[in-house]
Amino acid sequence: MTYRYISTMRAVIIALLILVSSFIAVFSQPAFTEEQIVLGVYPNGTVSVVHYIQVSEDQVFIDVKALTKPLEPVIAAGQSLYDTEVIEVDGTYYIRIYAPDRGILTISYLTKDLVIEEGPSLYKLSFNSTSPVVVVLAEGLVPFKAPKSALLNITDGKYIVSFPQGAYELLYYCIVKPPVFVVKATITDVEYKEQVGSGENVEIKVHVLNSGNGTGTVFVKLFRDDVMLGSESITLEPNESKTILFKVSAPSTLFNVEKLNLRIECGHDGEVDDTRYITINVNPAIGYEMLILVVAVILVAIVSALFIIMRKTSRKPSILSVPLTELDYVIVDMLKKGDYVQSSLVKILRERGVPTSTIYRHLDKLEKYGIIRRDRRDGLVIVSLVQEIEF
C-alpha cells in the first residue's frame, strides 16, 4: 500500500513539473525579436537607421531600443504604418510602436550622434547593438580600420561592413574629389534693329557671359544659313561678360520685304555652348507708299480706258451695226407714235399672229441695244423709244 502511494505521488509530481515547465516556456517567449539593424552612412555624417523586427504576438504596443537619440520623424511600417513615440529612460532611448501586426516590422529614423570627425576627412562610427548590424557606406566613403570580426564586401561601388552583436567602432575616410574648373559661354542678350532698309549696314551686338567656374577663351560666330559672316574670340573670367559687335550688309530688294535670318553661336574649345536665332526684316528700296501710288495710277488708267471703251460701245446703233428683223422695225414704228403699256403692245402684236414669247424676246433685244426702254410706273410697264432708227 505504501509502495503504491509513493508511485502515485511521484507521477503527480512529474506531471506538475511538466505543466509548470510548459507555462514557463510559453510566458517567457518574447512578443518580438530584433533580426537585424542596417546603418546607412552618408558623407555629411548623417546615419539612417533601420531596425528589422519580427513580431510574433499581438500586443497593445512594443518598445524597441534605439541605438541613439532618433531624429523625427520615426517611421514604423509593416502591413501598414503605425503610430510611434520616442521614450527616454535613464539616457536610453526606446521607440514605442502601437498595435503592430504580426510579421516583419521596420523602424526607420535618422541620427547624427553615431559619427564623429577624427581628423581631416577621417570619421569614426560607434554603436552598441544586441543584434547583428550591417553598415552601408555611401559612395566616396572608404573603410580605414575595422574590427577583425567584421566582414567587408563591395557592392555597386559601395563598401558594406557586417558586424555581429556587440559594441564596435569603424574608422573610414571621405574621399574629396578635386574641383573641376570649366568654361561655359552663354549669350545673355542680342541687340539689333528689327527693321532695316535695302542694302543698309546692320549692327548686331552680342552680350556673352562666362557662366562657368574657370577662366578661358570663348568664341562668338555669326552665320547666315551655313555661311559664316563673322567670328570673334575673347578671354573671360568666371561671371565676366563682354559685348561683341558684328557689322553686316542687308540684302538689296526692290519691291518685296525680305527676311534676313541669322544664327549666333558661342562656345569654347570647338564646342558650342549656346545658340541664338534672330530675324531682321529688310524693307524694299521702293517703299510701300510709292508702290501703292504706282498701283493706284495703273488702276486709274485701266478704269479710264474701260470707261472710254464703254462710251464708244454705247453710241447710237445703226442699221449696219444692229441686226434688226421685220418685227423689230414694226415695234419701233409703233413706238414712234408714243409710249405703250407693255401688255397693250403685246396684245396688239398677238392679234397680228405673233407669239407672245417672240414678242418678249424682241423687246429684250431692243432694250439690250438701247433702242427702247421699259420703265415701271404705277404698277404698269411702259415701253418708250430711246433711239430712232432709219428704215
b (16+ CB within 10 A) / e for 172-208 = bbbeeeeeeeebbbbbeeeebeeebbbebebebebeb
pLDDT at site 22: 43
Check if the beta carbon of residue 363 is closer than 8 Å to that of residue 348: no
- For the ranges 6-15, 31-40, 117-126, 132-141, the lowest mean pLDDT is seen at 6-15
Q: In DSSP terms, which residues pair with 141 in a beta bridge? A: 174
Same fold for the domain at 32-174 and the one at 185-283?
yes
Domain ranges of the chain: 1-30, 32-174, 185-283, 326-385
Check if the beta carbon of residue 121 is closer than 8 Å to that of residue 176: yes
Half-sphere exposure of 322 (CA within 13 A, CB side): 25
Which superfamily, per CATH, for 185-283?
Immunoglobulins (2.60.40.10)
Which pLDDT tens digit goes with each residue over 312-337?
655 544 544 567 888 888 888 888 88
How far is 67 from 83, CA to CA, in rounded Å?
19
pLDDT at site 314: 55
Q: Does domain 326-385 have CATH number 1.20.1250.20?
A: no
pTM score of the predicted model: 0.44
- Which residue did the predictor score with more confidence, 49 or 337? 49
Q: Which CATH number fits domain 32-174: 2.60.40.1730, 1.10.357.10, 2.60.120.260, 3.40.190.10?
A: 2.60.40.1730
b (16+ CB within 10 A) / e for 132-152 = bbbbbbeeebebeebeeebee
Residue 18 has pLDDT above 80, yes or no: no
Which pLDDT tens digit goes with each residue over 70-96?
999 999 999 999 999 999 999 999 999
Q: In DSSP terms, which residues pair with 337 in a beta bridge? A: none
- What are 311's three cell numbers? 462710251
Label residue 55 by pLDDT band (50, 70, 90). very high
